[in-house]
Chain A
C-alpha cells in the first residue's frame, strides 16, 4: 500500500470515528508497477542512441472535469462539504425576522481551508460577524471550525465541527459540536439533466441542534439534523433541511457555474416548532480557489476528445 493510500485510509478512519455515524469502510485502491528496463544493446550503439535521444516532452495527463457541484442539502444546518487549501469564501446571511420578534437580522462570514479534503482531512475555519450596523463589524462574532473529508469515488462526504468554538461580544448562538455524513445520489447521468442529482446529509450535534424544549430546559442532550437537496436544472436546486429544531426549505441558485457565486432563499421554521412561525431567510456567497488552473479545453480539443474512440 502506498503512502498516499495509507494517508487516505487513515483520514477516512478518523472521519468515521469523529462522525460516529457511519460504519462505511473503504478498501483504498493501491497499485504501483515499475517498468522493466530493456537489456542493453552494444555499447557503442547504445552510446550513440543516448547522445541523440531527447528528454520527454514537458506534458502531463490530466483529468478535465466538467465541474458541476452537487446541490447543497442544507439551509439551516452546516454543510457537509467544505473548503481546502487555497479555497476561500465570503457570505452574507439575512433573516427577515428572528424568532419571536419582528426584527430582521444579518451577518457575514469569511472562511478559508487548510489541507486536501480528497487526499485526507481538511480544516475549514470561519470567522462570523453577527454585528452589522449598530455595532462595528465583528464586534459580536465567533470562530467556527470544521474537519471534513470527501470521497469523490464513492460520492461520500464526512464532517465534524465546532460551531462558535470561540465567541465574543455577547453572541446568543452558543457553542455547538456536531458530526455529519453526506452522500450524493446520481439519479440520472448528464450535466444538464433535471432532477438528476440528489444530495443527502444527516448529523448529530449538541447546542443549537437540540430541540427547542431541550434548549429552553437546559438539557445537555444531542439532536439529529439533516437535509436533502435536489437539482432542478444545473443552476437551481431545491433544499429541505431539518435543523434539529425546525424545518427549513428553499432554493439554491448558482447563476454562473464558473464564478462560484451562490444565492439561497427560503423559509425557516415551516413546522412552527422553533419560534412563532415561518420566517424568510436568504444568503449570498462567493467561493473560489486561489490556486485553480483556469485553463479549459478548446473547442478543437473537445472535438478531438469526443471523436477519438
Chain B
C-alpha cells in the first residue's frame, strides 16, 4: 500500500477511534444499530465509488507503468551507447561510428539535430528516391528526432502521453517508410537503416 493510502487510512482510523470510544456499547430494542449513517454498505464513502461526472480525454500511454519504466531505462542506455559509439545491434553487429553518431544526433534531439535529420533523410533516400519514400523518410526522421531525449526525461508519476505518442508515431512512420522503399534499397540498405531498426526494436521490447 502506498504511503498516501496509509496516511489516509490512518486519518480515518484516528477520527473513528475518537468517535467510537465516545459512544456507548451497542444498545438493543430501538434499532440503534441502523439508525445512524449506515455502516452496512459503502454509504460512508459513496462519492468515491459512484459514477464519475468529471471530464474525460483520450490519450496514448505506455501499456503499463513497468513498460514505461523499462522504456526510460532503455532510452538512457541506447542514448549512452550511441553517444560513445558502443551500440551493438541484436545480431552482434556494431554499426560504424559515423552511423552511430548520426543516429545519436537525431535521436538525442540536440542543437545539431536539425542538420543531422537532413543528412539522415538524404541517406535513407539516396537509392530510394520515389515520392512516397522521400515523404515517408522525412516523416519518420521528424518523429524520430529527439525520441531518446524524451524517453530519458519521462516522469513515472505521469502517463507521459507525448512520449508514448512520439514512439508510436516513430514506429508507424518507420514501418510506412519501409513499406514505401524499393526492393533495391532494402536489398542493400545503408547501415543507418539497420541501426535505426535495432534502436526501435530495443525501444519497443515489452
Q: Which residues of A contact B (CB under 8 A)?
A: 42, 44-45, 48-49, 51-79, 81-84, 87, 89-95, 98-101, 103-109, 111, 124, 126, 128, 130-135, 140, 142, 144, 146, 150, 152, 155, 157, 161, 163-164, 169-174, 176, 184, 186, 191, 197, 199, 208, 215, 237, 252, 254, 256, 259-264, 268, 274-275, 279, 281-288, 290, 293-298, 300-301, 304-305
Contact = CB atoms under 8 A, between A and B. Distances in A.
B44 A261 contact: no
B155 interface: yes
B109 to A, nearest CB: 15
Contact of A132 (B4, B23, B58, B65): B23
B93 interface: no
B189 to A, nearest CB: 7
Given A52-B197, A290-B1, 10 more contacts: A63-B56, A69-B53, A70-B51, A71-B47, A98-B35, A105-B32, A142-B40, A164-B34, A172-B31, A172-B32
A155 B65 CA distance: 30
Contacts of A144: 40-41
Interface of B: 1-2, 4-5, 8-9, 11-13, 15-16, 19-63, 65, 67, 71, 155-162, 164-165, 167-168, 170-172, 174-175, 178-179, 181-183, 186-187, 189, 193, 197, 200-201, 203-206
B54 A67 contact: yes
Contacts, number: 405
A93 B39 contact: yes
B204 A58 contact: yes
B42 A79 contact: yes
User: Which of B2, B49, B54, B56 has the largest number of chain A CB atoms within 10 A?
Assistant: B49
A290 B22 CA distance: 31
A282 to B, nearest CB: 7
Contacts of A176: 34
Given A58-B204, A66-B54, A157-B50, A281 B175 contact: no
Nearest to B179: A49
